[in-house]
Amino acid sequence: MNEKPSQRRVGRSILALVAGFVLVLVLTVVTDVILHVTRVYPPVGQPMSNGLLLLATVYRTVYGVAGSYITARLAPYAPMQHALLGGLIGLVLSIVGLVTTWNRPDVFGAHWYPIALVILALPTAWVGGKIRMMQLGAAS
């Protein structure tokens, strides 16, 4: 197969984005399961307190930074742009989550939580990308 270099770069770009999202998804699901099993979180389908939602916001933000860093690290070029593209995709997904959960606070909890995820999507991505850019700057 005689792939053009630009096709390989597109493939690596997609792989970088997918790797970042998979990392965030796996870390989030594992953390959520552990917190449910240990009964820190209530059973699925019951709303969480503001304190627990704040805990979820914090670790999801940290995981988002890590995922954005991985995306930037694996990007074949323009690491910050890759991280921000991942953040933009995360922003869209967060907006979808906000809209779909809005009318069910009895199940999903306070409205501030999905709003916070929307607000934090791009800054989180920027921080992950910035960490990678600082590494690249230090390497030169």
Are 35 and 97 within 8 A, CB to CB?
A: no
**Cβ burial 112-121 (10 Å sphere, 16+ → b, else e):** ebbebbbebb
Rounded to 5 degrees, what angle do the CA atoms 127, 88, 32 make? Answer: 70
Give the tens place of pLDDT for each residue, 56-109.
Answer: 999 999 999 999 999 999 999 999 999 999 999 999 999 999 999 999 888 788
> In the structure encoding, which two tokens stand for residue 27, read together?
């870390």
pTM, rounded to two decimals: 0.90
pLDDT of 81 reads 97
Question: How many CB atoms lie under 10 A from the CB of residue 2?
Answer: 4
Q: Is the pLDDT of residue 127 over 60?
A: yes
